[in-house]
Structure 1
Amino acid sequence: MKNRLIVQKFGGTSVGSVDRIRAVAEQVIKTKEQGNQVVVVVSAMSGETNRLQGLAYEVDSVPSSRELDVILSAGEQVTIALLAMTLDKLGYKATSLTGWQAGIVTDDTHNQATIQSVDNEKFDQLLNDDQIVIVAGFQGVNQAGAITTLGRGGSDTSAVTLAGLLGANECQIFTDVDGVYSCDPRVVESALKLEHVDFDDMQTMAKYGAKVLHEPCVEFAAKHNLNIRVLSSFSPKQGTLVTRLQSKKNVCGLALQRDLSRLIVNLDKAGQIAMQCQLLGIAVHSQKAEYLIVNNSDVSKLLQISSEDVSIVEPISALTIVGAELEEVHLDVLPQLLAKDIKVLDSFRCDRVVKLLLLPEHLNRAANFIHAQYIEQSHSVAKDKKALIL
């Protein structure tokens, strides 16, 4: 009988030092000793990707996307080697693989690539030799052999895609939090840990700023009905199961986006500039006839080609309410925030989403107020109803 295959992913904080890498090795060994085959996907050590990106921007404020992939992929290469060495020292056979060594083939989109295929034969050979396979997350190669990266958070996508394509029994995402919360607990101290989140809500939260999981990895998991469990590297708690099971919460959670800029443009030029953004690989978070919103880091690149059409660049933040039946929430929340001296610069509602654009200094206050009004209160009501039933 073939052993169960478990894919485990460890993020940058989890592998942020040699001591933490040793703790990761012990977790991997525990899973191995339970009779499982194990594939481990790791990120670069915390802070390393930012350091490498900073070096690139010191050389050129608009670096070549191809060469940026080359430098950014180096971070994970360090981590896979250190983890393989640690496992070897502890008496377990392990082999580290970069993206190209693992046969992870992507499309040609530098900095935001999509995985197309994986060399299953390479993995089967190593796993059948009773080895622990350690893979560099966030990276692959295109058909021409050029290194590509999958975008920030791409190690999640590496792990989930490998789990799906290798036929794994389970994909476990280890991070520095013990599950998925209703809002970033560093902003809202009373944020609730969710026992389970359905794919739709998780994908929406990831799209609009929740950083626990990378959006493409949730999209892949939903398509292949592959459950993901989000766990903490530092806590034995059960974590959160991301699954097809539908959530019954009207408001599931809040997603926050910082480090955004709103570009006020010449009237009716936003569509044309958005098309240029698409060609340059710049994400546009919101767009209207008179403005568009991009990441701060992309402003200089965009201004190089469209400065004559941009009149104002201003910092902005976004808060997205995620859930079902949000029409009443949208109508209700705007006057309540105004009464709290929190100015909403713009808002819109679409399926499962109410998005609010705010001044950066108002984001945390708005998050705490909305969480208390629409998540904590409903949670308390649900608990009271459960107590009455019992």
Structure 2
Amino acid sequence: MNASVLKFGGSSFLDPQDYGRVAGHIAGRLAAGEKKIVAVVSAMSGTTGNLKAVMLDVNKQASPSNIDAALATGEMLSVCLLEAAVSRLGIPVTSLNGYSLGICTNSDFGRASLENVDSKPIIAALQAHDVVVAAGGQAIDRSGRLTMLGRNSSDLTAIVIASMLEENACEIYSDVPGVYTADPYIVPPAQLIPEIGYGAIAQMSRHGAKVLHHRAVNYAERHAVTIVCKSLTGDGAVTGTIVTGHGNARSVTVARDAAVIACGSFAERDNLHALLDRHDISTICTEVNDGPSICIVADIDFAMRLVALTGTRLIFIGSRTVVTEIDSSVLRVHLDGDYERAISLARQIHEQMYPGAVDEISGLRKAKQRSDYSSLLVRENNAPRNPK
């Protein structure tokens, strides 16, 4: 089926009016001659964190399946808002969420893995409508329970849908137009990378780069889907990076709040590293306080559940910021307990990689923004309760 697949991250929706802006972009694409569009959306910026905080405020031992069901409502609301905005323009539109997308996973709640897909529901939706709005990052398991694919996994949903529809490209929209040699919000001289290979960006993602989800990149490579990174500006869409089968660039990544765990022996550490690696969780074998330890870069909650199932008793040492130098196949990893010092190190490393580089995104926001409206969806922990 001839359909364009576009993914809009949470940074695209800082304000309810942004749904109208995205709807206008979709309308423009249709007016220019495109036949069908699938828009995959994330929750409004800040919503997922709010929802999880409230869930744990109600019950710190809430089950993973209960938390997944709650977190999914963030994307579901975003889907409804974009569907309403597109419908307002008189465009035939419908929406699909995890229950109806045709994507089935295992039951690893919090970070489920794909098992099979069924393209019939989305094809039927596209046959009846010009636009289908799909909830990112969610699916169902074999029992029909809703599962989440992990944080920032709407990319994966979009790539899966593109593959289901046999489309050879997928557009990913975020608050920056592409992949940079470092996070441009914390390393201002970061340079835009026009083209990069699947393996290179997946490696960057595994070590902290957030512009693309590494599982989405791996899926795109296996199914030959080209990723086109874009940003939606007041002047229209700006294309920054194309992810294909080749291309490399030196880079430095920063991963904040990585968890460092002390292990009883080097053999125990190696076994845990192998276990987490089988589940595609980024870890670093290290030594802290002269003892074997392992640093879990992301998906920490899910990783700790896996470790608990082994019966291994670990000691949490603390959080670290991981700074990684990536130069072809060479990785140099630095762990620092002080975030500001880690940022300073990342800037020094980037300056050594790209001496004299200038700020390329001076017109963009210099700090990531969180939607002021996400707090309308759930009560924040420090908000006063209404008196009875």
Fold shared by both chains (TM-score > 0.5)? yes
**Which structure would you say has the larger Rg?**
1
Residue in structure 2 matched with residue 346 of structure 1 by the alignment: none
Spell out the pairing of 1:213-232 with structure 2 (5 A cutoff). 213-232=212-231
Q: Percent identity?
A: 27
- Which residue of 371, 374, 378 maps to 2:350? 371
Q: Indicate yes or no: 2:102 matched with 1:103.
A: yes
CA distance in 1, matches of 2:93, 2:207: 37
Q: Which has the higher helix share?
A: 1
CA distance in 1, matches of 2:208, 2:166: 29
Spell out the pairing of 1:260-275 with structure 2 (5 A cutoff). 260-268=258-266, 270-271=268-269, 274=272
Q: CA deviation at 1:307?
A: 9.6
Secondary structure at the counterpart of residue 124 of structure 1: helix
TM-score (norm 2): 0.81
Residue in structure 2 matched with residue 76 of structure 1 by the alignment: 75
Q: Deviation digits for residues 67-98 of structure 1, max 9, x if unmatched? A: 11111111111011111111111110110111
Structure 2: unaligned runs, 5 residues or longer: 359-388
CA distance in 2, matches of 1:243, 1:257: 25
Residue in structure 2 matched with residue 358 of structure 1 by the alignment: 336
CA distance in 1, matches of 2:246, 2:269: 38
Q: Indicate yes or no: 2:293 matched with 1:291.
A: yes
Residue in structure 2 matched with residue 329 of structure 1 by the alignment: none
Q: Rate the CA distance shift 1:65–1:267 in 2: closer, same or farther, 3 A.
A: same
- Which residue of 21, 24, 42 maps to 1:23? 21
Residue in structure 1 matched with residue 378 of structure 2 by the alignment: none
Code of the aligned partner of 2:344: R
Of 67-76 and 238-247, the range deviating more from structure 2: 238-247
- Which residue of 318, 324, 327 maps to 1:323? 327
Q: CA deviation at 1:198?
A: 1.0
Q: Rate the CA distance shift 1:149–1:30 in 2: closer, same or farther, 3 A.
A: same
Code of the aligned partner of 2:100: Q
Q: Deviation digits for residues 260-301 of structure 1, max 9, x if unmatched? A: 23233434474388389859x895622346112236964996
Code of the aligned partner of 2:353: Y
Q: Rate the CA distance shift 1:299–1:362 in 2: closer, same or farther, 3 A.
A: farther
Residue in structure 2 matched with residue 240 of structure 1 by the alignment: 241
Secondary structure at the counterpart of residue 90 of structure 2: coil
Is the CA contact (8 Å cut-off) linking 1:9 and 1:173 kept in structure 2? yes
Structure 1: unaligned runs, 5 residues or longer: 325-350, 381-390
- Structure showing greater relative contact order (alpha-carbon pairs closer than 8 Å, 6 or more residues apart): 2
CA distance in 1, matches of 2:114, 2:301: 24
Q: CA deviation at 1:125?
A: 2.1
Residue in structure 1 matched with residue 198 of structure 2 by the alignment: 199
Is the CA contact (8 Å cut-off) linking 1:5 and 1:170 kept in structure 2? no
Q: Rate the CA distance shift 1:25–1:114 in 2: closer, same or farther, 3 A.
A: same
Spell out the pairing of 1:13-92 with structure 2 (5 A cutoff). 13-36=11-34, 37-92=36-91
Secondary structure at the counterpart of residue 154 of structure 2: helix
TM-score (norm 1): 0.81
CA distance in 2, matches of 1:284, 1:60: 28
Q: Deviation digits for residues 217-260 of structure 1, max 9, x if unmatched? A: 1001111221111111226322211111333x4x2x11111112
Is the CA contact (8 Å cut-off) linking 1:22 and 1:86 kept in structure 2? yes
Is the CA contact (8 Å cut-off) linking 1:62 and 1:301 kept in structure 2? no
